[in-house]
Amino acid sequence: METLGSFLAGRWQAGAAPTSTLHDPTTGEAIAETSTRGLDFGEALRHARDVGGPTLRAMTFAERGALLSAMASALHEHRDELLALSTRSGGNTRGDAKFDVDGCTGTMAWYAKLGSSLEGRFFGDGDLVPLSRNPRFIGAHVKVPRHGVAIHINAFNFPAWGFGEKAACALLAGMPVVTKPATSTAVLTHRMFRILTDSGVVPDGVLSLVCGSAGDMLQHVEAQDVLAFTGSADTGMFIRGLETVRRMGVRVNVEADSLNAAVLGPDLDPDSEGYQLFVREVLKDLTQKAGQKCTAIRRIFVPRESLEGVRDDLRRGYAGVRVGDPAVKGVQMGPVATASQLKDVREGVAALAAHGRFVHGDGGPGELVGATDEGYFVGPTLIEVSGIDEGGPVHDLEVFGPVQTIVPYDGSAEEAVRGVSRGQGGLVASVYTDDKRFAADVVMGLAPFHGRLHIGSSKIADHSTGPGTVLPQLIHGGPGRAGGGEELGGLRGLDFYMQRTAIQGLKPLVQRIVTP
């Protein structure tokens, strides 16, 4: 059984016993152990600030972009190994593993290319601003890297992409990174760091890894540090409430729960390409990563007059999904990631079903291919409730697995908006329609409640990436229940790691200072 170390203060370190055990979710077999007991997190953060920070700030954007490109290339050379490890340690099919691993290297490469197009080490932000009658007295804004460390605490479902997408923005902005993957799936992130440290492409202090508990790490944060967290809303609130975080004014970004929704417009008939796109993307979001995506469709809003047909089409789609050992050819969906995740999903299914009825599945494993129920399997599960105002937890409980709820509505944009917005903030919602007025009304009604909105229509059916795919060009995050955070979005992704400062004074001097 492998022992996972942490890469802190420029060296690999192992914690003391007792250790946490990591399991293969397909078989339940123990595959690794890790601990951070006794590790000096204060030293680790100081090393990142004092060694990695100055190194990055001395680089131009183009040089930081070249660093990201070298990291992406080093990881891509080991792609097949990483895909196989993703299957074993995370229960991912090869397609799901590609979604995570290629998403990581692809996002790094995208930001590397962005860096190559930028000049200097910081940004001038906006135009010069006259401040008095004397034209020589002016003001301007700059965005500069913060002199701290970026602490990234990631979720279990994307141990590769979660690391890569956060690190890409931080490193390009000029801040060193300490990454803490979820312990349960840290095997993949650990191997990626081994590849990067062995390659020698990353300068000292620029990247650090915590495998296991965060211990007292957040007691050592300082005012220039930033903290980005992806995970449960409860943990996000705990982090925001830490006395050291509050006292130091540490900048915090949280991505938490999200009851993402898909709305079928009343205009689409079953033969239309828009309707077929709707069915494909709903099914894809249930099966991909076994529904363990923060962007996965949880609630399906269907005009009441179309309910029977949609119900039958989805039931047929679910019935065709082969669940089992993700390493077996033809298996489309593997297990959920951990035993505790399996318990949470089944409890969530029971809570939803208490206020609705099963249309397909029941939260059990169903018929498995090449696996036994000793693994952490949940078959495709669809529950139907009577309507938007059903008093159960459909708008309050995110069941993080292959579980969806179908909700009939009256076909109007107003009721669709009312139903979806009861989720109290989400990462993404989608509307499927060829009716431009309906699309506009739903999108503008839902915009205040979501970080991203996806419009699926017949004309883009062959090109849609779907609501579940997060792209570096667009922001990822959302208000309210979703945590109120924001990541990616091209250059916007760098803002979290930079300080916007106003500079005022003599025009020639200010111009010289603010020009990158």
Whichever domain contains 195, its CATH number is: 3.40.605.10
Amino acid at 353: A
Same domain, 268 and 373: yes
Same domain, 121 and 153: yes
169 is catalytic: no
Q: Is residue 10 part of a domain?
A: no
Same domain, 276 and 235: no
- What pLDDT does residue 373 have? 84
Mean pLDDT by 10 residues, the chain (516 residues): 94 94 95 96 97 98 98 98 96 96 97 96 91 93 97 95 97 98 96 96 97 95 97 91 94 94 96 95 95 96 96 94 95 95 96 94 94 93 93 90 97 97 96 97 97 95 91 96 95 97 95 87
Same domain, 174 and 266: no
Residue 107 burial class via C-beta count within 10 angstroms: exposed 0-12, middle 13-18, buried 19 and up: buried
- What pLDDT does residue 387 have? 94
Same domain, 413 and 286: yes
Same domain, 310 and 251: no
Residue-wise burial string across 68-92, b where 16 or more C-beta atoms lie within 10 A, e elsewhere: bbbbbebbbebeeebbebbbbbbbb
DSSP 16: P
Q: Is residue 33 part of a domain?
A: no
Report how far residue 154's alpha carbon sits from residue 196's, in angstroms, rounded to the nearest whole number: 19
User: What residues make up the domain containing 324?
Assistant: 261-472
Single out the catalytic residue among 104, 165, 169, 255: 255
Same domain, 252 and 270: no
Q: Is residue 360 part of a domain?
A: yes
Single out the catalytic residue among 169, 294, 398, 487: 294
Same domain, 448 and 504: no
- What pLDDT does residue 515 have? 85
Sheet with 20-23, edge to edge strand ranges = 2-4, 30-34, 20-23
Same domain, 298 and 153: no
Same domain, 230 and 300: no
Q: Is residue 353 part of a domain?
A: yes
Same domain, 201 and 137: yes
Three-state DSSP at 167 gives helix
294 is catalytic: yes
CATH code of the domain covering residue 426: 3.40.309.10
Three-state DSSP at 250 gives coil
Report how far residue 151's alpha carbon sits from residue 252's, in angstroms, rounded to the nearest whole number: 10
Q: Is residue 247 part of a domain?
A: yes
Q: Is residue 479 part of a domain?
A: no
> Measuring CA to CA, which residue among 385, 387, 412 is closest to residue 264?
412
Q: Is residue 32 part of a domain?
A: no
Q: Is residue 458 part of a domain?
A: yes
Same domain, 181 and 312: no
Per the structure, how many domains does the chain have?
2
